[in-house]
């Protein structure tokens, strides 16, 4: 079945946001024989990002996954955690959860909230009572802001450190405040097709100076070259580093997850259109919601206190069978679709092989019934209408059968 029986256009879930102007600017910059490794443009991109987000510090790394890895590790190194237990969201992404395993935390899985697909706060409170976790990581699922007032109230009550994985949620807001400005630390992804892209790339943002300094060390081998010269001199004095060896003195066990000035150059051009890109994605998201939220067999996550800014629109079908039929109808019309992320991490082999299988009802529904629809800045409202028509016609055909 097709909506107009002559589908010609192809709709991909991830489209490039790097346009001809960005590329022309990059080529001009390359011709000037600039520094290609991490250098002044990385600092400029970090400062521009922090100002746009409304946070004090940001550290540019080579992916959102690396951002999550150093976010966890910085907390461990800073000695901020009352214990090594961390609550992780079932509906998230592999590398939201993986650092907890890699770095020797004890991960405890929390179900999702039916309205926002963020953390189920009733379940989280139960886990806090039972385990008193040192940290919680929340995902701002596909640009739908979670219930941040509720989450911050639990943070105050139980005293955990909050990590905010905003990798798929740039530009979303909760009560007028951008997501990624709620956690003690927050991460973003600039992978291809995300809100803004540096091809590969990620950012960790925080208002905490000590965490920022640790992040600068562990991004780059554990050395002190990126912190202020005064702080480096202080460390060198404290540790008795030989003057000639100071440059290669490693104060923390670090990684190398740096990004480059080339990527930062792209990031800076992307920042100039950040508000436009986000506004387009919000507009398309709203059109999807207008067209599909009244449909009884679909469930669409939303937060009345926030603005959803998605890279793909997500909905749950009534059944897995209906989801498969919708997916087939979409593909027949050259519209790409996938489940939401990896669905429930509680059903992924890397988790079940270590911690066993358990049911997380909302995350399980996301696993078995979710499907995503394209939402790129270049998709028009009539494209959204066409995609919705395809979804609605499959549902109508199913009901009639
Ligand atoms: C919630 C979440 N966290 C982390 C990531 C990882 O980002 P990256 O692909 O840049 O490593 C993603 C990727 O989409 C994500 O959705």
Please name every residue paired with 106 in a beta bridge, in sequence order, or none if there are none: 85
The whole-number pLDDT of residue 401 equals 84
Ligand 1 geometric centre to CA of 77 (Å):
23
pLDDT tens digits along 310-365: 999 999 999 999 999 999 999 999 999 999 988 999 999 999 999 999 999 999 99
Query: pLDDT grade, residue 2 (50/70/90)?
Result: very low
pLDDT tens digits along 50-65: 999 999 999 999 999 9
User: Rounded to whole angstroms, how far apart are CA atoms 330 and 280?
Assistant: 22
Residue 5, pLDDT > 60, answer: no
Residue 6, pLDDT > 80, answer: no
Q: Which two tokens stand for residue 245?
A: 């060896």
pLDDT tens digits along 358-380: 999 999 999 999 999 999 999 99
Are 174 and 148 in contact, with CB atoms under 8 Å apart? yes
- Ligand 1, from 66, 92, 93, 363: best to mutate by most atoms within 8 Å of Cβ? 93
Backbone angles phi, psi at 335, to 5 degrees: -110, 120
The whole-number pLDDT of residue 109 equals 98
Are 46 and 60 in contact, with CB atoms under 8 Å apart? yes
List strand residue ranges (DSSP E) for 248-316, in order.
306-307, 312-316
pTM for this structure? Answer: 0.96
**Closest atom, ligand 1, to C-alpha of 66:** 11
What average pLDDT score do residues 26-48 get?
Answer: 97
The whole-number pLDDT of residue 1 equals 46
- By percentage, how much of the chain surpasses pLDDT 90? 95
pLDDT tens digits along 210-268: 999 999 999 999 999 999 999 999 999 999 999 999 999 999 999 999 999 999 999 99
Q: Which two tokens stand for residue 219?
A: 């991004």
pLDDT tens digits along 271-303: 999 999 999 999 999 999 999 999 999 999 999
Q: How big is the CA angle at 226 (ends 38 and 259), to the nearest 5 degrees?
A: 25
- Ligand 1, from 167, 310, 344: best to mutate by most atoms within 8 Å of Cβ? 167
User: Rounded to whole angstroms, how far apart are CA atoms 363 and 321?
Assistant: 17
Residue 3, pLDDT > 60, answer: no
Ligand 1 geometric centre to CA of 48 (Å):
21
**Closest atom, ligand 1, to C-alpha of 142:** 16
Residues within 6 Å of ligand 1 by CB = 63-65, 68, 92-93, 95-96, 139, 165, 167-168, 189, 191, 202, 341
Q: Which among 337, 392, 401 is positioned nearest to 2, based on CA atoms?
A: 392
- What is the DSSP annotation of 53-67? HT-SEEEEES-HHHH
User: Rounded to whole angstroms, how far apart are CA atoms 62 and 64?
Assistant: 7
Residue 7, pLDDT > 70, answer: no
The whole-number pLDDT of residue 8 equals 73
List strand residue ranges (DSSP E) for 185-246, in order.
185-189, 202-206
Q: Which two tokens stand for residue 339?
A: 């489940």
Ligand 1 geometric centre to CA of 92 (Å):
9
Q: Which among 320, 16, 307, 22 is positioned nearest to 177, based on CA atoms?
A: 307
Q: Which two tokens stand for residue 238?
A: 């404290």
Q: In 32-140, where does DSSP find H-type helix?
A: 40-53, 64-78, 94-102, 121-131
pLDDT tens digits along 162-202: 999 999 999 999 999 999 999 999 999 999 999 999 999 99
To the nearest 5 percent, what fractions of the chain are helix, strand and coil? 45, 15, 40
The whole-number pLDDT of residue 48 equals 98
Are 9 and 334 in contact, with CB atoms under 8 Å apart? yes
Ligand 1 geometric centre to CA of 189 (Å):
6
CATH assignment, 274-400: 3.90.1150.10
Q: Which among 54, 344, 302 is positioned nearest to 170, based on CA atoms?
A: 54
What average pLDDT score do residues 31-52 get?
Answer: 97
Ligand 1 geometric centre to CA of 393 (Å):
32
Q: H-helix or E-strand containing 192?
A: none
CATH assignment, 20-272: 3.40.640.10
The whole-number pLDDT of residue 370 equals 98
The whole-number pLDDT of residue 216 equals 98
To 10 degrees, what angle do helices 381-400 and 274-292 make? 30
What are the residue ranges spanned by the domains of the chain? 20-272, 274-400
**For the chain, what's the residue count?**
401
User: Rounded to whole angstroms, how far apart are CA atoms 122 and 119?
Assistant: 9
């Amino acid at each position: 079945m097709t909506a107009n029986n002559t589908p010609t256009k192809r709709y991909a879930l991830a489209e490039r946001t790097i346009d001809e102007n960005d590329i022309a600017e990059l080529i001009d910059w390359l011709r000037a024989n600039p520094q290609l490794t991490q250098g002044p443009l990385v600092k400029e991109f970090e400062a521009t990002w922090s100002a746009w987000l409304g946070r004090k510090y940001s550290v540019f790394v080579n992916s959102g996954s690396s951002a999550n890895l150093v976010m966890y590790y910085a907390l461990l190194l800073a000695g901020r955690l009352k214990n090594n237990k961390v609550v992780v969201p079932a509906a998230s992404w592999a590398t939201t959860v993986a650092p907890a395993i890699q770095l020797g935390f004890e991960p405890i899985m929390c179900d999702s909230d039916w309205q926002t697909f963020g953390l189920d706060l009733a379940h989280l409170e139960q886990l806090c009572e039972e385990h008193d976790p040192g940290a919680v990581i929340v995902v701002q699922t596909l640009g739908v802001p979670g219930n941040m007032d509720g989450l911050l109230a639990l943070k105050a009550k139980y005293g955990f450190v909050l990590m905010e994985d905003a990798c798929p949620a740039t530009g979303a807001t909760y009560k007028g405040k951008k997501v990624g400005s709620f956690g003690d630390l927050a991460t973003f992804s600039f992978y291809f097709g995300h809100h803004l892209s540096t091809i590969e790339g990620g950012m960790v943002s925080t208002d905490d100076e000590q965490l920022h300094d640790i992040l600068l060390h562990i991004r780059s081998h554990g050395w002190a070259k990126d912190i202020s010269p005064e702080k480096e001199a202080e460390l060198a004095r404290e540790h008795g580093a030989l003057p000639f060896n100071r440059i290669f003195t490693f104060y923390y066990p670090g990684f190398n997850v740096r990004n480059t000035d080339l990527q930062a150059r792209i990031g800076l051009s992307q920042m100039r259109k950040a508000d436009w890109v986000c506004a387009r994605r919000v507009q398309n998201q709203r059109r999807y919601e207008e067209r599909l939220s009244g449909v009884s067999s679909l469930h669409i996550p939303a937060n009345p206190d926030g603005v959803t800014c998605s890279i793909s629109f997500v909905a749950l079908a009534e059944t897995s069978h209906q989801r498969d039929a919708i997916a087939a109808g979409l593909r027949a019309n050259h519209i790409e679709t996938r489940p939401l992320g990896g669905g429930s991490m509680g059903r992924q082999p890397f988790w079940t092989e270590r911690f066993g299988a358990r049911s997380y009802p909302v995350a399980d529904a996301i696993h078995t019934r979710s499907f995503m629809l394209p939402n790129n800045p270049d998709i028009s409202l009539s494209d959204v209408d066409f995609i919705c028509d395809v979804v609605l016609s499959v549902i109508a055909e199913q009901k009639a059968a």
